[in-house]
A and B are shown apart, each in its own frame.
Chain A
Amino acid sequence: MKRFLLAALLALAPLFGETTVIRNATIMSESGKGTFKGSIVIRDGKIAEVGENVMIPDGATVIDASGEWVTPGIIDCHSHIAADGNINEGSVSVSSMVNIKDVINPEDIAIYRALAGGVTVANILHGSANSIGGQTIVLKMRWGKDADEMIFEGAKPGIKFALGENPKRAGNPQGGRGGNASPARYPATRMGVEDTIREAFNEAVAYKAEWDRYDAAVKAGQNPIPPRKDLKLEALKEVLEGKRYVHAHSYRADEILMLIRIADDYGFKIRTFQHVLEGYKVADEIAAHGAGGSTFSDWWGYKMEAYDAIPYNAALMAKKGIIVSLNSDDAELMRRLNTEAAKAIKYGGLSREDALAMVTINPAKQLGVESRVGSIEAGKDGDVVLFDKDPLSTMSKVQKVWIDGNKYFDRDGDVSGRPAKELEKKKLMNAEKSNAPARRPQ
């Protein structure tokens, strides 16, 4: 009953247009104000005020956070949660016609678990089976809302590219089981990956020219038949026009450089290199191009292309002026991005604030949403996380998470609700057992 009431309260909270005040916490604001002890006022979904001393409005819900810590909502720049069905359209090497937006699953329990780790925003990407993969979307972890409401409104859409071992795997099928080997899918080598991407952009350039001619004719008052709309090339046209971010899964230095040169040739920018485990080797080139790097803290050695991966990658790239984020690519790791950030202190000697930036303001910048999220500053979205201890400590845990000023996670509520859930499950199971018709003996 108590759980039901709490759930009802949580559900109704947004209707109240609540003001929430988090008092006397150690705030890692990730802004010019740095880290300090103070309070935050969240009103109408936005951070109204943050500072050492704030005005507490009447009727506000006040959370006493003495001894606790607050960070901006954590942003995971590489995730595959919350999508129904296969995360890869791996049957073809260029699958830019598919869109994660079409298959958002707002009920994926991974969303809730990410919240429990302090994640408020996630960049949901197509898998890495294709040289050019599908269209991607940025979500806020608004657990309990429907698919449309999960979408981070205003975040620019993206598209996933993949280089290296993964997109060429289908070109080198294993012997096959029982004579049922899959046909090989071009490309089978890194040379072919480059060719695949160039061929696709070659087509896209011609497609864009066709449409530009059509648009010009319409402007000139003519009424021609429009060209056929091709979803695959439409997405690439948007890349050429800077309307769609490119997130490129990459490992080896040679392929990172290769993609930069393709982008230069076709006049577009890579927004982020993902994984980019050898980014440290070509950091100068990445910085000159202006791409961001979204990498793992310390994964290495599981593939040949990860054999030269070093945990100092993030620090080295950052030193060269690249905006670097640390991501998860994994529903489990996603829950610990706060401690993953701490590894940037261990490997490379970054300051605490610069380390936390890698999972807050940096990914916000990479996704183009830094005006809304990534730091605790007046005017930004009320996306904040309350930790019981230092968020960079392995021994801390998330207590509460707010998104747009609404509380979406509360550890106390979660823990106290467990017995009721168990009970409900038992009730349903018993009801089924007693209703079950007599079965034929096995």
Chain B
Amino acid sequence: MRRNWGLGIGNWVLLCATAFGAANDSFLIRNADVYPVTSAPMQNVSVLVQDGKIAAIGAKIAAPKGIRIVEGKGLRVYPGMIDSETNIGLSEVSGERVTVDTGELGEFMPQLKALIAVNPDSEHVPVTRVNGITSVMTFPAPGGRGGRGGGAQLISGQAALIHLSGWTWEQMEINRTAAIQVNFPSIATGGRGNFAADFPEAPGFGGGAGTYAERKRQYDAQIQKLNDFFDAARQYQKEKTSNAPGFKRDLKMEAMLPVLDRKVPLAVLASRERSIRDAVAFAEKQHVKIVLMQPRELANVLAELKEKNIPVILGRTEALPENEDAPYDQAESLPGQVFRAGVKFAFTTGDNEFVRNLPYNAGRAVAFGLPEDEALKAVTINAAEIWGVGDKLGSIDKGKWADLMVTTGDPLEIATEVKHVYIKGEEIPLTNKQTRLYERYSQRP
């Protein structure tokens, strides 16, 4: 199908020869192996990018006059990769709180926007994109290091989908409200999972998390609070649409409206099985869309997730098993299991410093049962579709933005070099603080 369409475009281009000047978001990559991801790879074809969008892919595309040519011989073209959960722009040195803007105070904060706190000059931006990651979801508070959310924060705010390029955060924006982050309650564990800790020779500081009954009570109370908040939002919606007397605009409630209308999904952090099940039940009860963020204990809920079409963002495959008895490859095997259950998923690496290793994280899952093309999808088109921009990003298809990477080989392999990175058709300089330090100290006499 592509071939026929390509030929047609090629003819059209020949007819409209000189219209395109040497615009810096227009170029032609020629003679490369192209991996569109949504269809089979193509050997030795060209990709035409115009005004930042993919205009054509095909074997014989004649270059419009004056357009920049990129020699693709021996190289491969892939869609730029997407990491589905980071804090890029919001956290610089995770151990230094003053450089960190994740984890605001407050229990219900849906009105907070990650986008407007993104520092476009964060060093994480150039460090990450040189390895072909062209856009990321950036979150208000996944509760990581340095981000102290002050008490159990249930709704953290609006996560943004951003390009890793732009003079301002406005220019980086793809969607400022791609999701609203919910930290689903969980029952604190008693700390078991290591038998040596159960028979301590050196009795020392021992915590007590309270009895299970207490912890369960707290858990149930938190879920109730969440439900109450959503009920209040619905009430607000009713009052707003019916122009109720005395109606006052409330920013928190305003932020909830697109969620109630199912236009914006909730990105729900839930790791253990009980939290996952309860989160799914909550979503049903409240008629909202959810995406599960970094769930771990998935084995028994996959069927339900498939049935309800709930996608998941899988955390690092490079992770230790849950407890002492779990199989050593528990984290690595999970993506394969999720794929075989028919649940849609994308990958994330979590910490800013490791986002550049997103493809290797995906590659690791291939060793343990995930088909390779699925791994590639999980860092490209799946992520785009999960976050509602499947029509704009995530694959090499006509009409989509030219977020591309050009490599010497399989991007999921470490030894592969990234030769070019494009974001919205603009070539990204493959330099950052680290390459500059490298240059500088290579020249120390």
> Is any CB of A less than 8 Å from a CB of B in the complex?
yes
Number of A-B contacts (CB under 8 A): 117
Distance in angstroms between the alpha carbons of A302 and B91 in the assembled complex: 10
Q: Report the nearest A residue to B432, measured CB to CB.
A: A310
User: Does B374 make an interface contact (CB < 8 A)?
Assistant: no
Contact A332 B95 (CB under 8 A): no
For chain A, residues 79 to 128, give those with C-beta under 8 angstroms from any C-beta of chain B: 84-85, 105, 107-109, 112-113, 116
Instruction: Take A281-B441, A343-B414 as given contacts and tell me if A310 and B434 are in contact as well, using a CB distance cutoff of 8 Å.
Output: yes
Contact B360 A394 (CB under 8 A): yes
Distance in angstroms between the alpha carbons of A442 and B435 in the assembled complex: 63
Contact B352 A301 (CB under 8 A): yes
Distance in angstroms between the alpha carbons of A105 and B194 in the assembled complex: 13
State which of A283, A331, A346 has its C-beta within 8 Å of the C-beta of B414.
A346
Q: Report the nearest A residue to B146, measured CB to CB.
A: A302
Contacts of A414 in B (CB 8 A): 327-328
Contacts of A311 in B (CB 8 A): 434
Contacts of A342 in B (CB 8 A): 413-415
Binds A, one of B245-253, B316-324, B377-385: B316-324
Contacts of A442 in B (CB 8 A): 213
Q: Report the nearest B residue to A300, measured CB to CB.
A: B353
B256 to chain A, nearest CB (A): 35
User: Does A299 make an interface contact (CB < 8 A)?
Assistant: yes
Contact A395 B353 (CB under 8 A): no
Distance in angstroms between the alpha carbons of A342 and B410 in the assembled complex: 14
For chain B, residues 241 to 278, give those with C-beta under 8 angstroms from any C-beta of chain A: none
State which of B124, B413, B438 has its C-beta within 8 Å of the C-beta of A316.
B438
Q: Report the nearest B residue to A393, measured CB to CB.
A: B413
Contact B93 A303 (CB under 8 A): yes
State which of A302, A304, A395 has its C-beta within 8 Å of the C-beta of B366.
A395
Instruction: Take A300-B353, A310-B438, A397-B368 as given contacts and tell me if A418 and B327 are in contact as well, using a CB distance cutoff of 8 Å.
Output: yes
Contact A298 B368 (CB under 8 A): no
Contacts of B415 in A (CB 8 A): 342, 345-346, 352, 392
Contacts of B327 in A (CB 8 A): 414-415, 418
User: Does A35 make an interface contact (CB < 8 A)?
Assistant: no
Contacts of A308 in B (CB 8 A): 433, 437
Instruction: Take A84-B196, A84-B201, A299-B353 as given contacts and tell me if A395 and B367 are in contact as well, using a CB distance cutoff of 8 Å.
Output: yes
Distance in angstroms between the alpha carbons of A84 and B195 in the assembled complex: 12
B91 to chain A, nearest CB (A): 9
Contacts of B368 in A (CB 8 A): 397
B345 to chain A, nearest CB (A): 18
What 0/1 readout, one digit per residue, does chain B (327-339) give for beta carbons within 8 Å of chain A?
1110000000000
Contact A394 B328 (CB under 8 A): no
Chain A interfacial residues counted at CB < 8 A: 52
Q: Report the nearest B residue to A339, measured CB to CB.
A: B414
Contacts of A284 in B (CB 8 A): 444
What 0/1 readout, one digit per residue, does chain A (291-329) give for beta carbons within 8 Å of chain B?
000000011111110111111100010000000000000
User: Does B60 make an interface contact (CB < 8 A)?
Assistant: no
Distance in angstroms between the alpha carbons of A332 and B320 in the assembled complex: 6
Q: Report the nearest B residue to A342, measured CB to CB.
A: B414
Contact B366 A105 (CB under 8 A): no
B444 to chain A, nearest CB (A): 7
Contact A392 B438 (CB under 8 A): no
Contact A316 B441 (CB under 8 A): yes
User: Does B296 make an interface contact (CB < 8 A)?
Assistant: no
A117 to chain B, nearest CB (A): 9
By CB atoms of chain B within 10 A, which of A301, A345, A418 has the most? Answer: A301
User: Does A145 make an interface contact (CB < 8 A)?
Assistant: no
A335 to chain B, nearest CB (A): 8
User: Does A280 make an interface contact (CB < 8 A)?
Assistant: yes
Contacts of B16 in A (CB 8 A): none
For chain B, residues 346 to 391, give those with C-beta under 8 angstroms from any C-beta of chain A: 351-353, 356-357, 360, 363-364, 366-368, 372
For chain A, residues 361 to 403, give those with C-beta under 8 angstroms from any C-beta of chain B: 389, 392-397
Contacts of A303 in B (CB 8 A): 93, 95-96
State which of A105, A107, A302 has its C-beta within 8 Å of the C-beta of B95.
A302
Distance in angstroms between the alpha carbons of A312 and B324 in the assembled complex: 36
User: Does B300 make an interface contact (CB < 8 A)?
Assistant: no
User: Does B85 make an interface contact (CB < 8 A)?
Assistant: no
B337 to chain A, nearest CB (A): 14
Q: Report the nearest A residue to B414, measured CB to CB.
A: A342
State which of B201, B213, B328 has its C-beta within 8 Å of the C-beta of A112.
B328
By CB atoms of chain B within 10 A, which of A108, A336, A395, A414 has the most? Answer: A395
Contacts of B93 in A (CB 8 A): 301-304, 306-307
Contacts of B319 in A (CB 8 A): 332
User: Does A425 make an interface contact (CB < 8 A)?
Assistant: yes
User: Does B39 make an interface contact (CB < 8 A)?
Assistant: no
User: Does B202 make an interface contact (CB < 8 A)?
Assistant: yes
Contacts of A332 in B (CB 8 A): 318-320
User: Does A421 make an interface contact (CB < 8 A)?
Assistant: yes
User: Does B104 make an interface contact (CB < 8 A)?
Assistant: no
What 0/1 readout, one digit per residue, does chain B (399-437) give for beta carbons within 8 Å of chain A?
000000000000011111100000000000000011101
What residues of chain B have their CB less than 8 Å away from a CB belonging to chain A? 92-96, 123-124, 127, 145, 196, 201-202, 213, 318-321, 324-325, 327-329, 351-353, 356-357, 360, 363-364, 366-368, 372, 412-417, 433-435, 437-438, 441-442, 444
In the assembled complex, 8 residue pairs joining A and B whose CB atoms fall closer than 8 Å, in A order, are A280-B437, A281-B444, A312-B438, A332-B318, A339-B414, A342-B413, A394-B367, A421-B325
- Taking A113-B321, A116-B329 as given, write out 8 further A-B residue pairs in contact, using a Cβ cutoff of 8 Å, ordered by the A residue number: A301-B352, A307-B93, A336-B364, A346-B415, A352-B415, A394-B364, A394-B367, A394-B413
What residues of chain A have their CB less than 8 Å away from a CB belonging to chain B? 84-85, 105, 107-109, 112-113, 116, 280-281, 283-284, 298-304, 306-312, 316, 331-333, 335-336, 339, 342-343, 345-346, 352, 389, 392-397, 414-415, 418, 421, 425, 442
10 closest residue pairs by CB, A with B: A394-B363, A342-B414, A310-B434, A312-B438, A395-B366, A303-B95, A397-B367, A345-B415, A301-B353, A116-B328
